[in-house]
Amino acid sequence: MNILSAIIVFENLHEVRRLCHWGPIIALTVIAVCSSMAILDSIIWYWPLDTTGGSINFIMLINWTVLILYNYFNAMFVGPGYIPLGWKPENQQDTMYLQFCRVCQGYKAPRSHHCRKCNRCVMKMDHHCPWINNCCGHLNHAYFTTFLLLAPLGCTHAAFIFIMTMYTQLFSRLKTDYNRISFAARRIHHPIMPFSVASFAATLFALGLALGTTIAVGMLFFIQIKVIMRNKTSIEVWIEEKAKDRIQYYQTGEEFIFPYDLGSRWENFKQVFTWSGTPEGDGIEWPVNEKCHQHTLTIEQLKQKADKRVRSVQYRVVENYNGACCPLRKGFNTFLRTPCTEEPRIQLSKGETIFATRGTKWWMYGDKVLDEEQTKAAVRVRGWFPRRCVEKCLYDSANNTSASEEKKDK
């Protein structure tokens, strides 16, 4: 019903456009190929109307497809849930513990993050998934994780059917005496369409897709379930690691306790999975550890943001860059070592200023310094760019002194 309501209701028709993206197109194509070939091969190998086992095999195959598509479309169309535009906490004093989103013109609630792809602040954002062309967050985390579980199981079943079909069909052609054919081959039903060379090639291709999906999606499931059991998101795992690095770097003697780990894997599990399919809570306030409070994590985020400003380095652009993902004219190593991420690349022009916050040997990531009008309009240009296109600016003694003093104060 959630899927139908999202499609039928007029104001939600724009959500159907999520299907027009390379991620859902590839994902649905893989599901369609594996499911259709498994159905055809199961008819060839184990005719469902002849035996009880064949009927059970066929029904299970249909169930896998239905359940996979149900959770996939729910993850896509139900969505993660978004913080209302212009949101502010009921207690105005709490704003000092929260980050302000210039795009949404409101404060970021605890556990929420702004997604550049969705252009909204997402409740309990885990990541933006290109395969569903949507974010994985508070409302659809259970659907997404269930999809990650069911897809490998369904593909494993389909792969078994593919292997048995190819084995029985090829083995039967090598035997001239029908009485000596193996047990599996004796169950072969004369199919409506013969198992030709084209059928063998299509089955082999589907087998490759099924095995690849089982491995890749299965790994993602184990990563997700490990995070869920600690009541974290992928972003919060990164925040916790940075918190430990910050405390160790500045030797502050603090003890950072992740506030949303309730101390029990079962209690953490129930924060995502419920019988109704809808998680508990409003996506803004969360149950926390007894040693923490609602803004423990947001305060840590503000500290990391301040530390990021201190440790950022100013660079001046000395070479133009058109923003290409894999630039051919910026060196062979720059072309080959392009960052494997969906984060954007930014165009550079000579004379511009960049504040770099991280980087690799061949690429850097940072914010472009904009003029006053762009800053007031909440414009922010940040992303990756080749390291060879910039050179480090020389700081005066005043800047160096202030930076070192701020480091000591921390």
Give me the active site residues, please: 129
What span, in angstroms and rounded, lies between the C-alpha atoms of 95 and 81?
Answer: 21
CB contact set of 178 (below 8 Å; sequence gap of 6+): none
Q: Angle at which helices 197-228 and 22-45 pack, to 10 degrees? A: 120
What span, in angstroms and rounded, lies between the C-alpha atoms of 164 and 42?
Answer: 9
Which residue type occupies 395? Y
Q: What phi and psi, each to the nearest 5 degrees, are found at residue 65?
A: -60, -45
> Residue 178 to residues 49, 116, 144, 175: CA-CA distances in angstroms?
22, 63, 48, 7
Which residue type occupies 406? E
CB atoms within 10 A of CB 186: 11
Indicate the DSSP class of residue 367. E
What span, in angstroms and rounded, lies between the C-alpha atoms of 98 and 91?
Answer: 12
Token pair for 122: 């997402």
**Cβ-defined contacts of 388-391 (< 8 Å, 24+):** 388/319, 388/330, 388/331, 388/334, 388/362, 389/317, 389/318, 389/319, 389/320, 389/321, 389/330, 389/348, 390/315, 390/316, 390/317, 390/318, 390/319, 390/348, 390/354, 390/356, 390/364, 391/315, 391/316, 391/318
Residue among 89, 138, 131 nearest 113 (CA)? 138
Q: What are the percentages of helix, strand and coil residues in the chain, rounded to 5?
A: 50, 10, 35
| Residue 204: strand, helix, or coil | helix
Q: Which residue's entry shows tokens 């994590």?
A: 297
Answer yes or no: are the C-beta atoms of 304 and 357 closer than 8 Å: no
